[in-house]
Homo-oligomer: A and B are copies of this chain.
């Protein structure tokens, strides 16, 4: 059974997955890098950048599960870049340079489709309009039996949570108060009842929260 998974999704104590005022210089708006400092020091993150080193503690152990068994990613347009409305800049292919760290098909949800772009390293960006169910069906087909990752941002994750399409949700709660931005948890009353919850705090100060949907045991 192909699962739908969210990994390494950081939120502030007040639930913001990104700050206000995204721009080319500030992908997370006024949050700056404060939501992701715990992640930057991990070996997993450094490997995503093609770098050596990084810590290998529990933050890294949790973070590194993000890629195993993933056959496609779905992301919202605001994760892909700061442009809004019809595409002005067709040269923009994300924040990640010529060899993005996904290495799978990536479906970008937008009301303004554009042609697919094949990047180095196995990443192909597809621009698709549709409901979470429709986009997931396309991503599942592209994933060839592997799992599908919902990459963010908060609005996209929330849309898939609301549609009850997510099987595994890893959220890193960072003890900061952002006060404004996009909130993950809005409208999710009772979400916990569909999942098994676990929490673990690491010395970086982050609480790793996992919500996993009970799965049938297989022999």
Contacts and interface: CB of A to CB of B under 8 A. Distances in A.
A159 interface: no
Given A189-B180, A201-B199, A175 B209 contact: yes
Looking at chain A's contact residues, the main secondary structure is: loop
B189 A175 contact: no
A61 to B, nearest CB: 16
B192 A14 contact: no
A178 B199 CA distance: 18
Nearest to A200: B201
Given A207-B173, A207-B207, A13 B201 contact: no
Given A177-B189, A177-B191, 11 more contacts: A13-B185, A14-B185, A15-B15, A15-B185, A177-B188, A177-B192, A198-B205, A199-B205, A200-B201, A201-B201, A201-B207
Interface of A: 13-15, 173, 175-180, 185-192, 197-201, 205-207, 209, 211
